[in-house]
Amino acid sequence: MIVKYFENKKKVVILPFKTMKTMKKLALILFLGVFSISVNAQENETKTDGPAFKFETETIDYGKIEKNANGVREFVFTNVGTEPLVISNVKGSCGCTVPTKPDGPIMPGEKGVIKVKYATSRVGGFSKTVTITSNATEPRKVVRIKGIVLKPETASVVEKQKSVLSNL
């Protein structure tokens, strides 16, 4: 260790090169230790013992759609669990909502799709649920669809407004 004194009698300590290398190594080891703990904690949060859902979205908003428009939408999910996910049943809250379950099990880490067809022949707002029954850690899962089906003349007015705006 080198000690230098200045005119105003302030003492400055200069560490030797070997001590600086040791401190850099110690700082690097501490940083890597904290980083590996945080990465491990994130991995543990995403994995669940047994099968488990993680949906991209649990509510699909159709927005404003025309009467008799295509009413098919998809709920995309990932099995974030450690075992295969088997969906035994999907049921809409009424006859106007018809869900379709995936065939076969969804393996851990894989994506699956539940298709939902809403009968857009009914004019007005809607908010429906789809109940999913499976072997997941949460055996009953409810997802939602919502939107507004416009009357035919209302839909044509909206289209006219769009065409007028696009001509500007």
Residue-wise pLDDT tens digits, 42-88: 554 556 789 999 999 999 999 999 999 999 999 999 999 999 999 99
pTM (2 d.p.) = 0.64
For strand 140-150 and strand 59-66, is the pairing parallel, antiparallel, or unpaired? Answer: parallel
Residue 51 CA to residue 138 CA, distance in Å, equals 9
Average pLDDT for the chain:
82
Mean pLDDT confidence for 97-102: 95
Mean pLDDT confidence for 26-48: 68
Phi, psi at residue 153, to the nearest 5°?
-70, -35
Residue 62 CA to residue 69 CA, distance in Å, equals 11
Q: Measuring CA to CA, which residue among 67, 64, 75, 77 is closest to residue 146?
A: 64
- Would you say 140 and 146 are in contact if contact means Cβ atoms under 8 Å apart? no
The residues, ordered by sequence, that sit 6+ positions from 50 with a Cβ below 8 Å of its Cβ are: 81, 82, 83, 135, 136, 137
